[in-house]
Amino acid sequence: MKDKVVLITGGTSGIGRACAVAFGQAGARVVVTGRDEARLQDTARELAGLGISHHTVRADVGVATDSERAVQETIAAFGRLDVLLNNAGISMRARFQDVDLSVIERLMQTNFFGTVYTTKFALPHVLASKGSVVGISSIAGYRGLPGRTGYSASKFAMHGFLEALRTELLPQGVHVLLACPGFTASNIRQVALAADGSAQGESPRDEQKMMSSEEVAQHILNAVRHRRRDLVLTSQGKLTVFLNKWLPAITDKLVLSHFRKEEKDFEV
């Protein structure tokens, strides 16, 4: 990773921020985007304190012109782009029958179209470097999760997009990785959207029992180094993908039972 240039969307917290540190400590020059200026500055201070060459861009990936500007600023700052990490994303927690349609639209705009926009503008530069395009996805991209209809749909869409792109780019030497961390200790559940679009403000799970963002970031770094095509993390995540492929009807019942137990105040 020495002197490689890495653009990380949504890099001010959780997995994105941990990736900024991991890739930076591996020798990369890091560009981080985010919507919150205060969090961007806090991330910049951490990266500077670690001696990591970096640049921050205030941008919303769900806005095409913001995504284009993020790539332009990356090239202006460092002259090239080797790795794009499409990490920016939001989640939800509400039954479909209760959710406002604007919540579904917002998730698709950020999680799916944010990936499409940024990848579109980054691709000429990644082609030039024969680098990597990474989608930070979820087990929800393999298996629809109750209470997360919009989130699951957006991740399924991301999977289809990046799988097709990977196949298109095979002759051109570009690496495409789909990374699915499973449940990770981050702030994504606290800021997940409720049925009316407001932030949940709490997590329904014991975050301390989950894989840390830092550990996930190391796995993603290694997967990029070895140009892997898929990365599924945690034993629970791997088991869910396996069972859903071979025993889908049974998995329906297991997933529903699991979510009913863990979300006592949210019956699905």
Task: State yes or no: is 117 an active-site residue.
Answer: no
Give a three-class secondary structure readout of the chain. CCCCEEEECCCCCHHHHHHHHHHHHCCCEEEEEECCHHHHHHHHHHHHHCCCCEEEEECCCCCHHHHHHHHHHHHHHHCCCCEEEECCCCCECCCCCCCCHHHHHHHHHHHHHHHHHHHHHHHHHHHHHCCEEEEECCHHHCCCCCCCHHHHHHHHHHHHHHHHHHHHHHHHCCEEEEEECCCEECCCCCCCECCCCCECCCCCCCHHHCEEHHHHHHHHHHHHHCCCCEEECCHHHHHHHHHHHHCHHHHHHHHHHHHHHHCCCCCC
Catalytic residue of the set 78, 112, 121, 151 = 151
Active site residues: 151
